[in-house]
């Protein structure tokens, strides 16, 4: 649809609607019924109603009033009557007619009674001379035999003649009356519209779908003949009960479009800016009136709308509300808006007690429709026609798949969906298989779950074997390390990764030992894997005790030494979430050090402020686990990250003033001191402090023996020194 609607075009559309209302009102002879119709039509618009009443008064004195353009207004008026058959509009002798009366003879046929009328013609039940059968005879009405209507009537006749299908009403004869008006004869369908029939027979969902499949086959036949129906709706599909067999018949190809060439006579009856069809069932490309070529996929949309009403009990759009909203809003709604799911509409119909289905049926239907039926209907009704089913056969095949409990193409595939469909198709076999499986499990006393296929069961068995072997290998590796047989333990672990082990509290000690051993030898990737599994296991334990161990002090530096900054940031986020605020000085000191190895944002500093206060004011002394020098290092790091460089220098100097036999604490403090002095513009002093830290680090590394252990201190303390030294060197320069 165009983004900007031409005002002239919109005015023309409004005039067409007004003409349709006028024509409809003109056919109601009873003044009371005519007034009720106008009040309902012009609800909220008294000025429009008064204007229409004036036009109707003028029409009584001028027989030529609105004669020009009468064909289109009569068609629109008839669409209103077709859509609302129960409003009680009388169609007596004063209505526009073909001029033929009951009992008249046309060719070989005697008219028995009038049974209906379409946009340009009337339909009679007629008896054929010489044959004991009745037929349906359609003839153009008097006053409607203009060139365009006659041409459209001829197209409908030719359309039906070329189609031979048990679910399409057959053409038996054709000709012209003595006055020259065309007519044709087709088989008489004594049935109700498909939606009325389904409700009257109280058909369930599978029965309705089987009936709908026959309609799809009929439309597919028309498409193969090169014909698009373009007005598929319940009133154009009648259903007969023939000896217990439900036979739908597609009728009224009066607005059908020839896809291949031109039928004899005048083709291309559609005019730009005209609706061809019934709004609630029309595809967006029919509504858009932009000159877009209409193909068979327009019928696929209408079939989807018909299926929607068959299943949900209501059409996807309310025709009366669409007509009341005006042509522009109607266009927008049909092109842009999606109706609710059929399952949701069925649920609402159940709550309102609509339809003739048995009590409680609609509630069950809402649950049944939720899933494949919803998907099928909405694929058929896709706004973009390239995303719909491309043929009526493909729509029918998907419905058949649903009825046979097979996966449908309208739904996104998944393993669970395919397994569900497999179970639905083989319900008895699956139930028997499960019963046998349970009997086997009970008889053998096993706890192993069996899968539907042998391959999955074997894969699970192989996984359990690998896991058991991995546990044994880890236990063996720990023993070898304790015996000093590091080379043999290394070969064992490389052949059997520790990731195969299930996480449990009992395994935490194993992961802790292996992680520390790998870190000692600089195998940071393997150490990081071990500490990750260790932390997963210790999460199950006491939270406060976790913070008072060295686990976090080992894990954080290891991630950074392994080059996995993302893993460290995730660990830091977890520590802030689980352990803040610290409860004592030891927790505060370790939390600050573990969280501040890399620069942080202001929010993190704010979260750690309370822990820094606990660390600063907690008692310390000889033998205390939170000794002054270590707290000074953590506070120096905290104030540096906060941007308080003078306080960071003071705390670092306080840390360095206390003798450090291992050298790692003092070296870490010198790195912080170097960065703080550099930030204050003391470049020379900063470089001197960094050189001292690097020299101490090189001295210790030179003394590491073949076993991989540093002579004094711990490996993770020196890892902290290396991390801070790299940051300081990147800032100050080598």
* pLDDT on residue 282: 86
Query: Which residues 6+ apart lie within 8 Å of 497 measured at CB?
Result: 470, 529
Q: Which of 95-104, 321-330, 366-375, 711-720 has the lowest mean pLDDT?
A: 95-104
- Using pLDDT thresholds of 50, 70 and 90, give the confidence band for residue 101: confident
Q: What are phi and psi of 123, to 5 degrees?
A: -120, 130
What is the helix (H) or strand (E) element at residue 323, kind and residue range? helix 319-324
**162 vs 127 pLDDT, higher one:** 127
Same structural domain, 305 and 344: yes
Residue 177 sits in a domain whose CATH number is: 3.30.200.20
Show Cβ contacts of residue 254 under 8 Å, excluding neighbours closer than 6 positions: 118, 119, 120, 121, 152, 153, 156, 231
The answer, yes or no, to whether residue 272 has pLDDT greater than 50, is no
For 696-722, letters b (16+ CB in 10 Å) and e give: bbeebeeebeeeeebeebbbbbbbbbb
Residues 211 and 290 in one domain: yes
Q: Are residues 207 and 138 in the same domain?
A: no
Kindly report the pTM of this predicted structure.
0.47
Select the highest-mean-pLDDT range: 31-40, 137-146, 427-436.
31-40
> Is residue 236 in a domain?
yes
Query: Is the confidence at residue 725, as pLDDT, over 50?
Result: yes
Task: Quote the pLDDT of residue 306.
Answer: 93
Q: What is the structure's pLDDT at 664?
A: 87
Provide the CATH number for the domain around residue 212: 1.10.510.10
Catalytically annotated residue among 82, 231, 374, 660: 231
- 200 and 183, same structural domain? no
Q: Would you say residue 90 has pLDDT above 50?
A: no
Single out the residue of 733, 725, 711 nearest to residue 669, CA to CA: 725
Task: Please check whether residue 676 lies inside any domain of the structure.
Answer: no
Q: CA-CA distances (angstroms) from residue 3 to 6, 273, 275, 327, 332?
A: 10, 15, 19, 15, 10
Residue 660 contacts residue 688 (beta carbons within 8 Å): no
Tokens of 386: 């390239």
| pLDDT tens profile 459-518 | 767 666 766 666 677 667 666 656 666 556 666 766 665 555 555 665 677 677 778 878
Q: Specify the pairing of strand 171-176 against strand 182-187.
A: antiparallel
What would the mean pLDDT of 611-622 be, rounded to a whole number?
A: 76
**How far is 660 from 630, CA to CA, in rounded Å?**
10
Assigned domain for 425 exists: no
Question: Does residue 609 form part of some domain?
Answer: no
pLDDT at 601: 93
How far apart CA 637 and CA 640 sit, in angstroms, is: 5
Are 213 and 222 a contacting pair, CB within 8 Å? Answer: no
Could you tell me what percent of the chain has a pLDDT over 70? 66
Averaged pLDDT of the chain: 75
The tally of domains found in the chain comes to: 3
The model's confidence at residue 173, banded by pLDDT at 50, 70 and 90, is confident
The reply to whether 132 and 220 lie within a common domain is no
CB 303 within 8 A of CB 232: yes
What are 335-367's pLDDT values in tens digits?
Answer: 888 888 888 887 776 666 555 455 556 667 778
Q: Do 354 and 285 fall into the same domain? A: yes
Residue closest to 405 by CA, chosen among 389, 393, 388, 418? 418
Range among 195-209, 313-327, 443-457 rated most confident: 195-209
Q: Is 222 helix (H, G, I), strand (E, B) or coil?
A: helix
> Which of 167, 188, 209 lies at the terminal end of a domain, its last residue?
188
What pLDDT, on the 0 to 100 scale, is given for residue 320?
75
| Residue 575 confidence (pLDDT) | 87
The pLDDT value recorded for residue 639 is 92
**Best-predicted range by mean pLDDT among 77-91, 626-640, 670-684?**
670-684
Residues 393 and 308 in one domain: yes
Same domain, yes or no, for 123 and 210?
no
User: What would the two tokens of residue 592 be?
Assistant: 């600050």
One domain for residues 79 and 118: no
Kindly list the distances between the CA atom of residue 310 and the CA atoms of 18, 359, 520, in Å, as whole numbers in the listed order: 32, 17, 74
One domain, residues 73 and 102: no
How far is Cα 180 from Cα 42, in angstroms, rounded to an integer? 40
* 192: phi then psi, degrees, rounded to nearest 5: -100, 160
Q: What is the pLDDT of residue 501?
A: 59
CB 229 within 8 A of CB 299: yes
Q: Which long-range contacts (CB under 8 A, 24 or more apart) does 139-142 make?
A: 139/98, 139/100, 139/106, 139/177, 139/181, 139/182, 139/183, 140/98, 140/181, 140/182, 140/183, 141/96, 141/97, 141/98, 141/99, 141/117, 142/96, 142/97, 142/98, 142/99, 142/181
Q: Is residue 89 predicted with pLDDT exceeding 70?
A: no
pLDDT at 133 over 90: no
Domain for residue 705, yes or no?
no
Return d(Cα 347, Cα 368) in angstroms, integer: 11
**Residue 85 pLDDT exceeds 80:** no
pLDDT bucket at 83, cuts 50 / 70 / 90: very low
Mean pLDDT within 673-685: 92
Confidence of residue 144 (pLDDT cuts 50, 70, 90): low
Say which residue, 734 or 493, is predicted with more confidence: 734
Range(s) of the domain holding residue 19: 7-83
> What end-to-end distance do the CA atoms of the chain give, in Å?
68
Residues 112 and 254 in one domain: no
H-helix segments, 386-426 = 392-403, 415-425
Does residue 599 lie within any of the structural domains?
Answer: no
Catalytic annotation present for 231: yes
User: Looking at residue 626, what is its pLDDT?
Assistant: 45
pLDDT at 302: 92
pLDDT of residue 10: 43
143 and 67 fall within a common domain = no
Structural tokens at position 545: 């005790």
Q: Long-range contacts for 561-565 (Cβ within 8 Å, ≥24 apart)?
A: 561/519, 561/524, 561/719, 561/722, 561/723, 562/524, 562/525, 562/527, 562/528, 563/524, 564/528, 565/598
Residue 514 lies in a domain: no
Annotated binding-site residues for ATP read 138
Instruction: Compute the chain's Rg from CA coordinates.
Output: 43
How many CB atoms neighbour CB 45 within 10 A?
Answer: 12
Least confident range from 91-105, 407-421, 517-531, 633-647: namely 91-105
Rounded CA separation 208/403 (Å): 11
Give the tokens for residue 151.
Answer: 């041409």
pLDDT of residue 127: 92
Q: Which amino acids are annotated as binding site, given as ranges? A: 138
Q: Outline where 483-622 has alpha helix (H).
A: 486-495, 508-520, 524-538, 543-548, 551-561, 565-579, 585-595, 602-617
Q: Is position 564 within any domain? A: no
Domain boundary (137, 157, 188) is at 188
By mean pLDDT, which of 74-78, 179-183, 450-454, 532-536 is the weakest?
A: 74-78
3-state helix, strand, coil in the chain (%, to 5): 60, 10, 35
Which of 172, 188, 204 represents a domain boundary (last residue)? 188
């Amino acid at each position: 649809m165009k983004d900007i609607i031409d005002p002239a075009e919109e005015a023309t559309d409004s005039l067409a609607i007004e003409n349709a209302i006028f024509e409809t009102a003109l056919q109601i002879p009873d003044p009371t019924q005519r007034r009720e119709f106008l009040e309902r039509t012009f609800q909220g618009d008294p000025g429009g109603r008064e204007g229409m009443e004036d036009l109707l008064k003028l029409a009584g004195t001028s027989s030529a009033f609105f004669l020009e353009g009468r064909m289109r207004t009569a068609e629109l008026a008839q669409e209103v009557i077709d859509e609302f058959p129960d409003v009680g509009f009388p169609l007596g002798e004063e209505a526009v007619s073909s001029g033929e009366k009951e009992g008249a003879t046309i060719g070989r046929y005697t008219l028995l009674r009038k049974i209906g009328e379409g946009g340009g013609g009337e339909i009679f039940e007629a008896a054929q001379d010489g044959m004991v059968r009745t037929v349906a005879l359609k003839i153009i009405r008097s006053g409607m035999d203009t060139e365009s209507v006659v041409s459209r009537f001829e197209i409908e006749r030719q359309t039906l003649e070329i189609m031979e299908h048990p679910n399409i009403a057959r053409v038996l004869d054709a000709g012209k009356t003595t006055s020259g008006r065309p007519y044709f004869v087709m088989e008489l369908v004594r049935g109700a519209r498909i939606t009325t029939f389904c409700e009257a027979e109280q058909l369930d969902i599978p029965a309705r779908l089987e009936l709908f499949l026959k309609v799809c086959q009929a439309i597919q036949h028309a498409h193969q003949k090169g014909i698009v129906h373009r007005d598929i709706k319940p009133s154009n599909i009648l259903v007969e009960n023939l000896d217990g067999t439900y036979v739908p018949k597609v009728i009224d190809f009066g607005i059908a479009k020839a896809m291949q060439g031109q039928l004899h006579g005048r083709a291309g009856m559609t005019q730009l800016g005209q609706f061809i069809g019934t709004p609630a069932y029309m595809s967006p490309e029919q509504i858009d009136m932009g000159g877009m070529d209409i193909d068979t996929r327009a019928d696929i949309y209408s079939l989807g709308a018909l299926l929607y009403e068959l299943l949900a009990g209501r059409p996807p759009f309310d025709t009366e509300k669409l007509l009341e909203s005006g042509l522009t809003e109607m266009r927008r709604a049909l092109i842009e808006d999606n109706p609710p799911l059929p399952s949701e509409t069925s649920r609402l119909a159940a709550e309102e007690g609509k339809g003739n289905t048995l009590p409680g049926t609609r509630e069950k239907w809402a649950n049944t429709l939720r899933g494949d039926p919803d998907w099928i209907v909405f694929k058929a009704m896709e706004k973009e026609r390239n995303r719909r089913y491309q043929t009526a056969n493909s729509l029918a095949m998907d419905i058949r798949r649903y009825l046979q409990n097979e996966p449908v193409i309208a739904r996104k595939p998944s393993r669970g969906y395919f397994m569900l469909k497999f179970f639905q198709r083989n319900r008895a076999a699956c139930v028997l298989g499960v019963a046998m499986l349970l009997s086997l499990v009970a008889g053998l006393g096993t706890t192993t779950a069996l899968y539907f296929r042998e391959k999955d069961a074997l894969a699970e068995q192989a996984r359990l074997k690998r896991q058991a072997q991995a546990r044994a290998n880890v236990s063996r590796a720990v023993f070898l390390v304790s015996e000093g047989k590091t080379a043999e333990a290394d070969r064992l672990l490389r052949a059997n990764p520790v990731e195969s082990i299930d996480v449990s509290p009992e395994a935490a000690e194993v992961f802790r030992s292996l992680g520390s051993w790998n870190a000692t030898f600089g195998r940071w990737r393997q150490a990081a894997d071990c500490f990750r599994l260790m932390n997963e296991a210790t999460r199950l334990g006491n939270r406060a005790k976790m913070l008072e161990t060295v686990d976090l002090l080992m894990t954080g530096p290891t991630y950074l030494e392994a080059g996995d900054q993302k893993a460290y940031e995730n660990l830091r986020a977890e520590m802030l979430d689980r352990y803040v605020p610290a409860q004592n000085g030891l927790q505060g000191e370790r939390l600050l050090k573990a969280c501040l190895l890399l620069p942080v944002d202001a929010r993190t500093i704010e979260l750690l402020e309370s822990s820094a206060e606990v660390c600063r004011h907690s008692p310390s002394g000889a033998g205390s686990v939170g000794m002054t020098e270590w707290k000074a290092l953590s506070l120096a790091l905290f104030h540096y990250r906060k941007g308080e460089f003078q306080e960071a220098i003071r705390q670092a100097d306080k840390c360095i003033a206390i003798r450090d036999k291992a050298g790692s604490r003092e070296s870490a403090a010198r790195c912080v001191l170097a960065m703080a002095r550099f930030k204050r513009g003391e470049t020379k002093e900063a470089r001197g402090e960094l050189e001292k830290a690097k020299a101490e680090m090189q001295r210790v590394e030179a003394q590491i023996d073949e076993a991989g252990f540093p002579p004094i201190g711990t490996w993770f303390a020196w890892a902290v020194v290396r991390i801070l030294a790299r940051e300081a060197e990147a800032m100050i320069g080598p």
